[in-house]
Amino acid sequence: MGIASLVIGILTVGGVCLSLVPLLNLANCLVLPLALLGAILGLAGLFRQKGRGAAIAGLCLNSLALMVGVVRLVLSCLAGACIL
């Protein structure tokens, strides 16, 4: 589970960076659920004995992607360009 969380974390950080481009903010709606899944897998991986370092790294990356994505979503809604 730790390796899966790490892979999802790498993909979500890249997706959040992609969603910072002004016309590609729709990617933010696709990345946030994936980052949440990766964070859950990272938490589940912490309780296993093997791959604990990968679980911690995946949890950190997914948490970062969630924070940046939520801030990006709130700012776009406040600006009147909410995509939800």
φ, ψ of residue 56 in degrees (nearest 5): -65, -45
φ, ψ of residue 20 in degrees (nearest 5): -75, -15
Domain coordinates in residue numbering, the chain: 2-78
Tell me 26's DSSP state.
Answer: T
Q: Measuring CA to CA, how many Å separate 51 from each of 18, 24, 33, 41, 57?
A: 29, 34, 23, 12, 10
What pLDDT sits at residue 48?
A: 83
Q: Mean pLDDT for each consecutive 10-residue tract of the chain (84 residues)?
A: 92 89 79 93 87 89 92 82 62
pTM: 0.85
77: number of CA atoms within 13 Å, CB side?
9
